[in-house]
């Protein structure tokens, strides 16, 4: 006859696990002998090994007793059910890992895959991390308001990156990311941006396919201003040349000065 410690050793578990199985009603608890110890026979070792095998396979303890008493058909059906549950849990954990990997790369769970691909393309152009981060934060705000339009919006943004003038605009913005508001090179950048706006048939359109609340527009503009020290000064220069806004770019009249 075996003590609880010996039983646990034979079955490859701990005495604490044996006590837990007693509490759950999975393993009968023998009476104490005259010395005050519980003694176990070979049948307890076999039963404990079966319990451990089921638990190690991922069977919830609440179902172990059912499976120990089940006939072959019932056991097989229960195993299939448990296997389906485990596969769902594995799929969920794999998705969690994918999301954690995106977070580690600096992207956000709040963005759809199309937006993540767009940010990756910006990075591939060698843009400053601060500019890409600002784009990411802005698109998180847009995705929260217009989730159903994000696919089409990202198609438009990807198509824009096929235009060399747009890429040059991004590179201009990359260059100015650390400039001060009084940098003497800033007016030339404003001139180049306005030239791109003037050349684009969509710039300043009165039709807005993706209407944004004024509060969100102001918030998105703030993302740019907060990310680039000279951002507000650049927007003022652009305004002097007949354009207003940043997120919602609009023509305001003839160029000034």
- The whole-number pLDDT of residue 209 equals 54
SS3 for 211?
Answer: coil
Q: Which uninterrupted H or E stretch holds 244?
A: strand 243-244
DSSP sequence for 116-174: HHHHHHHHHTT--HHHHHHHHHHHHHHHHH-GGGHHHHHHHHHHHTTSHHHHHHHHHHH
Domain boundaries, the chain: 4-100, 108-251
pLDDT score for 184: 95
| Predicted local distance difference test score (pLDDT) of residue 104 | 60
Residues 6+ apart with CB under 8 A from 157: 118
What is the token pair recorded at 45? 């070792």
Cα 150–88–20 angle (5° rounding)? 135
- The pTM (predicted TM-score) of the whole model is 0.51
What pLDDT, on the 0 to 100 scale, is given for residue 239? Answer: 93
pLDDT confidence of residue 205 = 44
Both tokens assigned to 16: 């604490």
Polymer length in residues for the chain: 257
Read off the pLDDT of residues 157-216 as tens digits, 9 standing for 90 and up: 999 899 888 888 888 887 888 899 999 999 999 998 898 888 875 554 433 456 678 888
Residue 84 corresponds to which tokens in the numbers above? Answer: 């389906």
CA pair distance 78, 66, nearest whole angstrom? 9
User: Tokens 């319990």, residue?
Assistant: 51
Question: Which one, of 23, 79, 15, lies nearest residue 53 by Cα?
Answer: 79
For residue 121, the Cα-to-chain-centroid distance in whole angstroms is 18
Please answer whether residues 179 and 229 qualify as being in contact, where contact means their C-beta atoms are separated by less than 8 angstroms: yes
C-alpha angle 76/82/88, rounded to 5°?
Answer: 140
pLDDT of residue 255: 42
The pLDDT score that the predictor gives to residue 256 is 39
The CATH T-level fold of domain 4-100 is Multidrug-efflux Transporter Regulator; Chain: A; Domain 2 (1.10.1660)
Residues of the chain with pLDDT under 70: 99, 101-109, 201-211, 253-257
> The tokens of 212 are what?
């944004």
């Amino acid at each position: 006859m075996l003590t609880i410690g010996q039983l646990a050793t034979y079955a490859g578990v701990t005495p604490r696990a044996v006590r837990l199985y007693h509490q759950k009603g999975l393993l009968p608890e023998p009476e104490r002998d005259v010395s005050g110890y519980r003694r176990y026979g070979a049948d307890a070792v076999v039963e404990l090994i079966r319990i451990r095998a089921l638990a190690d396979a991922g069977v919830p303890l609440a179902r172990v007793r059912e499976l120990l008493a089940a006939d072959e058909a019932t056991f097989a059906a229960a195993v299939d059910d448990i296997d389906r549950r485990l596969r769902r849990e594995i799929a969920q954990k794999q998705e969690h890992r994918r999301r954690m990997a995106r977070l580690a790369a600096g992207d956000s769970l709040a963005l759809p895959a199309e937006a993540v691909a767009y940010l990756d393309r910006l990075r591939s152009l060698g843009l400053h991390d601060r500019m890409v981060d600002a784009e990411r934060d802005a698109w998180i705000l847009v995705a929260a308001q217009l989730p159903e339009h994000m696919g089409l919006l990202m198609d438009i943004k990807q198509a824009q990156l096929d235009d060399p003038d747009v890429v040059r605009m991004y590179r201009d913005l990359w260059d100015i990311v650390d400039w001060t508001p009084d940098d003497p090179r800033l007016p030339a950048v404003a001139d180049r941006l306005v030239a791109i706006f003037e050349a684009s048939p969509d710039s300043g359109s009165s039709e807005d396919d993706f209407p944004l609340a004024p509060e969100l527009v102001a918030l998105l503009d703030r993302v740019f201003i907060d990310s680039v020290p000279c951002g507000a000064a650049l927007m003022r220069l652009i305004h002097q040349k007949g354009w207003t806004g940043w997120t919602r770019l609009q023509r305001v009249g003839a160029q000034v000065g």
